[in-house]
Structure 1
Amino acid sequence: MFKIIAAAVLALASAAAFAATEVNKANQAELEAIKGIGPSMATRILDARKTGTFNNWADLQGRVKGVGDGNARKYSADGLTVNGQAYPVGGAAVVKAKGKHEKTPAKKVEAKAKS
């Protein structure tokens, strides 16, 4: 009987350890429990979340400095979700924040040719 109870407790503990952490609901400590998210990153996430919930991974990446493709993959693999979704295998298109412009590949080629 003891073995059955011990096995059940162990199974519940294992399930809790692999439970997903929703970025739109997590507090500072829960975010910091994700491997790679320290106090600074957790604070940036919480500050960005004050303006509204994150719609998807691209929204998170666009609004939180330091969450690029590589970190998003790592955080997702460690259990972080956005609206219940893991980071897509192929990656997400990053939506730039207002006022930030990125050169298109054609402009980069033109600029390099002029140099």
Structure 2
Amino acid sequence: MVLVFHSPVGYSNDQPVNGKYSQIDITVNINTAEEAELATLLSGVGLKKAQEIVRYRNENGPFEKAEDLAQVKGIGPSMVDKNRSRIKL
């Protein structure tokens, strides 16, 4: 069975998802994802940090590379590295 989703969330083979869907890997487009998606799909990112990501993106335009995410308040280089396989642009 093949499922097709039209959303900023994609699937890749970089990092497994926990739980019964351990064979499915996830990615999130940090330039289009909404707060809830960011908070759910990025490790260590809760709703407050997700809101900061969206606020930063709205004020400064789209992220050009994953490392740009470290410019967001509350997000550091180690968090970017932890989520690198999930981050899409």
TM-score (structure 2 length as normaliser): 0.64
Q: Which amino acid aligns with 1:26?
A: A
Matched residues, percent identical?
29
Aligned equivalent of 2:27:
20
Aligned pair partner of 1:74 in 72, 79, 82: 82
Greater share of helix: 1
TM-score (structure 1 length as normaliser): 0.51
- 5+ residue gaps in structure 2? 3-19
Equivalence map 1:38-49=2 (5 Å): 38-49=46-57
- 5+ residue gaps in structure 1? 1-7, 84-115
The count of aligned residue pairs is 70
Greater share of strand: 2
RMSD of aligned alpha carbons: 2.5
